[in-house]
Structure 1
Amino acid sequence: MNAMLKIKNLSIHTDAQTLVHNLSLDLYPQRPLTILGETGAGKSLIAAAVAGTLPGALKPEGDITLFDELNPLNRERFWGKEIALLPQEPWLALNPLRTIASQISEVHKLVLNKDKSTSEVRTHHALQQMELDSDGGKHPFELSGGMAQRAAYLCATQAGGKLLIADEPTKGLDESRRDHVGQLLLSHCQSFETKAPRGLLTITHDIKLAKMLGGDIIVMKEGEIVERGDANTVLENPKAAYTKALIHAQPEYWLMESPLSSHPQQVDSSSSNLHIVKKPLLKVHDLSIYREEKTLFSELTFSLDQGEVLGIYGDSGCGKSSLADTLLGLHNDFSGSIDWLQAVEKGQRLKLYQDPPSAHSPHVTLKTLLNDLCALHKLDRSKITALLDRLSLDQDLLERPSSQVSGGELQRFAILRALLMSPKLLIADEPSSRLDPITAAQTLKLIVEVSKEANCGLILISHDQLALSKLCNKVIDLSSY
């Protein structure tokens, strides 16, 4: 069977820098091809080069043969029926002014030329597939990250494109839904129901997804291929040092001390070896949270001390982010009691968001953002240098806007910005879901360390129960409430 996609000696560069170096690959129908690697390795640029969506400032060199056409022009003609693209940022891919159901239905009407009745029936069936049948009337901003990702998947795949390019398709999804999306990707690729065989190109840093998909794999670092071959062979017996590092950055390989007891009066900070007296900070009793007359969870009770780490996990849409918003005073539709056992001033309840770019203005430098924060809250600027060093951030980074900073660096800058406020409660909402395994592991451990050093209560929200069990004093499964 001929390759559906052939890339030969592809390089992508700006006037000053080469971002992808001399890449070649073949993608065959019904055999998945996965590109695995760190944030900023150039993986998404390859997808953009194939689809014809590279920004004008980026120049490709080399050959791309797509559906037996060498370097085809006007690749927009392939979009929909020939190429389906599932982008990595669902909130940017979806129309914020229209409901999810209307956007899915539009694919049936405009791409497949189905009548209104047929489109609506197919849309309802698609929403049921993704357990979104009660959410079709919602707009993207009303969905959790995982729900938005599933909705974007439906929009991308309803026309049945022969080549599906999935860019980080499982970001922000819990384990069960990640497996569900993985199976859908496989069935899309390996379906024998259509006359034209289908291909799947997946770009990810999710090693478990890569294992599930199988087929062929390419491991990339800094724009270059470091290892390639059969996915199962490479992931079970990696040869390259970087591939080994990616695999061993997963929580099951973390070598950490046993989680601290949830009751001690002192905590031994692993980095400073200082004994810090823990004081009760927060007590929550019989908390139930509602959105749009729907109960997300009920009768939740817990307490949190200074310097203590509480983990929260559960299925997408179970109310994790709503719990964070409620504790931060941003959501008021709840019952039960939230008692603050210490005085908490304005700006001492803070949140680290799961999508760092959305939390920072891209139009000014990071230095300007810090200057504005210090001026607004009359903060001590002398702390900045020490925090930059503690968080392994270069001073020169502050001269760039957020759009020119990697996801891992930007999340560490967000930690710096929060610590400047001397918070008593810090809520980290999926702070590593946008990061590759190595950067994610470093970031999660760093958040825990600096929170303990600052004697700050930390609530860590994640889909990864194993990671939380190794990082937190206690863990709550919100799906059980």
Structure 2
Amino acid sequence: MNAQDRVPALVVDGLSVSHGAQALVRDVSFAIPAGGVLTLLGESGSGKSLLAQAIMGNLPAGLRCAGTIAIGGERTGAADQRSRHAGWGRRVALLPQEPWLALDPTMKVRRQVAETYELVSHPARGHEEDDWRSAKVNARTLADRALASLGLGDAADKYPFMISGGMAQRVAFLATHAAGAPLMIVDEPTKGLDADRRGEVAGLLRAARARGISLLCITHDIWLARAIGGELGVMLDGEMIERGDTADVLAAPKHDYTRRLVAADPANWSARPAAAGAPQRRIVATIDGVGKSFGSQRLFDGIGAHIEVGEIVAVTGPSGSGKTTFGNIVLGLLKPDAGRVTRATGLAPAAFQKIYQDPAAAFAPRASLRRSLMDLVRLHRLDWNVLDGLLARMRLAPALLDRLPGQVSGGELQRIALARVLLMKPALIFADEPTSRLDPVMQQEVVSLLADHARENACAVLLVTHDAEIVQAVADRRIDLQS
């Protein structure tokens, strides 16, 4: 059978998703051939992740969908979500956007990956006990090999809370990939990863495609879109506004938004002016000989620095080097094994704030976003009008606040988390991958807002980002944990 005659891996026809009377995704249609790739780019909240959830049959409660979906030739109504559940892991697999939510917090890393291999390859019911034991041993071997291939060998015996966000992303990828489903939907597979790890994930996706696996890839990473090739679709306000060969669309975009998206790639940013030095500049925190280890693994040692008001200091180092751990020590959330962190005198307990790498971890899951923010405003006697201004600057509709955290996109939740922290006007912000879920246009706007806030409000920022171009453009200096 010729490739042209093969049944498409995925056909989406007239797919729409709505919340009440509000249309979130409108009449989207596309097809992915067997072994093909479609990458979706677009701003946070444009409907990319909702498309993936609708295809899987896993939309959040309260959302409705219409249209038809065919996976490997099996056609179902989009509204009949339950009919697609039987194909999870066998016909289609989803790597979700939040690695922390994808992993079992009570299960060690090796077991989480091995379990997938075991479920896929275990003998049928009724076989001998020795066959089951052999399958289990083989699954463990495959899991160890897969973990080692992504530099996660040392993480095999750890729980998810003991590893970095970037490492959790790679573990979740391996657990999803192990099932070998012919169609994979990957949602932001490179967020929070350093350049070398991004290359490894791109290599895994290319290798999966070479084995005939079809990919629907949702990303804000223009570099990744180029690296895996295939077709590219650009979404805006719930509609697919442009689609074509990836290289062609990125080289000569036709839609104005696509042109803005490409122009806002961090590689094209201009460097911001450095914070002006002055004799009266104040020190917010002094870091003196700080070191930290977990068991026999030493993350960093002898780190010293002065953090001054108004400056942006990048914390750099490869994934797993302890960047988040270092920031938590500066905040006082963790104790160092050696050294000390001294705050400036007179600062309130809430003067040091954190923007979490995974914003879902920063909100009560069963309270509306409005309720969480109103509690904060009331507790600290803040001005809600200031919050309204921050949300408007980040192009967040007020109606989003009436939803639960799980009912908005990762990028929308990340911006709401940032607005909440800026509202507090802290003396120091530890921004842990604060734009990892944002498209290039919004990422540029949010980083500009964060930098302006630091300058205008005498606030220091400790910035963790995997993107070297962002560090080059906005940081006044850096603390390298691997130097």
Give the TM-score of the pair, scaled to structure 2. 0.88
Q: After the TM superposition, which residues 188-337 of structure 1 pair with which residues of structure 2 at under 5 Å, given as runs?
A: 188-191=208-211, 197-260=212-275, 264-265=277-278, 277-337=280-340
Q: Name 1:269's counterpart in structure 2.
A: none
Alignment partners' CA distance in 2, 1:249 and 1:12: 28
Using the TM superposition, give the Cα deviation of residue 414 of structure 1 relative to its aligned residue in structure 2, in angstroms.
Answer: 3.3
Distance 1:290 1:241, change over 3 A: same
CA deviations over 1:9-35 (Å, ceiling 9, x no partner): 222234412222222212112332111
Q: After the TM superposition, which residues 20-59 of structure 1 pair with which residues of structure 2 at under 5 Å, given as runs?
A: 20-55=25-60, 57-59=62-64
CA deviations over 1:213-247 (Å, ceiling 9, x no partner): 11111111111111110001101111111111111
Alignment partners' CA distance in 1, 2:45 and 2:200: 27
Alignment partners' CA distance in 1, 2:450 and 2:233: 31
Q: After the TM superposition, which residues 342-353 of structure 1 pair with which residues of structure 2 at under 5 Å, given as runs?
A: 342-353=345-356
CA deviations over 1:433-466 (Å, ceiling 9, x no partner): 1222222211111111112211112111111121
Distance 1:329 1:208, change over 3 A: same
Identity in percent: 37
Q: After the TM superposition, which residues 82-121 of structure 1 pair with which residues of structure 2 at under 5 Å, given as runs?
A: 82-113=91-122, 115-121=135-141
Alignment partners' CA distance in 1, 2:10 and 2:426: 51
Q: Name 2:127's counterpart in structure 1.
A: none
Q: Name 1:392's counterpart in structure 2.
A: 392
Distance 1:473 1:13, change over 3 A: same
CA deviations over 1:63-118 (Å, ceiling 9, x no partner): 32221222288323322232222111111111111111112111122222161211
Aligned length: 460
Distance 1:399 1:286, change over 3 A: closer
Q: Name 2:15's counterpart in structure 1.
A: 10
CA deviations over 1:280-320 (Å, ceiling 9, x no partner): 22222332222233210122222111112111122111111
SS at match of 2:350: coil
SS at match of 2:26: strand
Alignment partners' CA distance in 1, 2:159 and 2:292: 20
| Structure 2 unaligned residues grouped into runs of 5+ | 124-134
Alignment partners' CA distance in 1, 2:299 and 2:50: 38
Using the TM superposition, give the Cα deviation of residue 407 of structure 1 relative to its aligned residue in structure 2, in angstroms.
Answer: 4.7
Alignment partners' CA distance in 2, 1:391 and 1:49: 28
Using the TM superposition, give the Cα deviation of residue 119 of structure 1 relative to its aligned residue in structure 2, in angstroms.
Answer: 1.2
Distance 1:389 1:85, change over 3 A: closer
Alignment partners' CA distance in 2, 1:314 and 1:242: 33
Q: Name 1:75's counterpart in structure 2.
A: 84
Alignment partners' CA distance in 2, 1:463 and 1:204: 15
Distance 1:137 1:189, change over 3 A: same
SS at match of 2:121: coil
Which stretch of structure 1 is more off in the superposition, 97-106 or 45-54? Answer: 45-54
* Contact preservation (8 Å) 1:31, 1:190: no
Match of 2:169 among 137, 146, 149: 149
* AA of the residue aligned to 1:88: Q
Alignment partners' CA distance in 1, 2:374 and 2:63: 32
Q: Is residue 358 of structure 2 the alignment partner of residue 355 of structure 1?
A: yes
Alignment partners' CA distance in 1, 2:409 and 2:111: 34
Distance 1:395 1:223, change over 3 A: closer
Q: Is residue 466 of structure 2 the alignment partner of residue 463 of structure 1?
A: yes
Alignment partners' CA distance in 1, 2:193 and 2:244: 27
Q: After the TM superposition, which residues 363-442 of structure 1 pair with which residues of structure 2 at under 5 Å, given as runs?
A: 363-377=366-380, 379=381, 381=382, 383-390=383-390, 392=392, 396=398, 400-403=402-405, 407-408=410-411, 410-442=413-445
Distance 1:103 1:28, change over 3 A: same
Q: Name 2:447's counterpart in structure 1.
A: 444
Alignment partners' CA distance in 1, 2:391 and 2:92: 41
CA deviations over 1:224-282 (Å, ceiling 9, x no partner): 11111000110111111111111112222223443346xx117xxxxxxxxxx421222
Alignment partners' CA distance in 2, 1:98 and 1:257: 44
Q: Give the helix-richer structure, 1 or 2.
A: 2
Q: After the TM superposition, which residues 165-204 of structure 1 pair with which residues of structure 2 at under 5 Å, given as runs?
A: 165-191=185-211, 197-204=212-219
Alignment partners' CA distance in 1, 2:113 and 2:148: 13
* Contact preservation (8 Å) 1:402, 1:410: no
Alignment partners' CA distance in 2, 1:278 and 1:314: 28
Give the TM-score of the pair, scaled to structure 1. 0.89
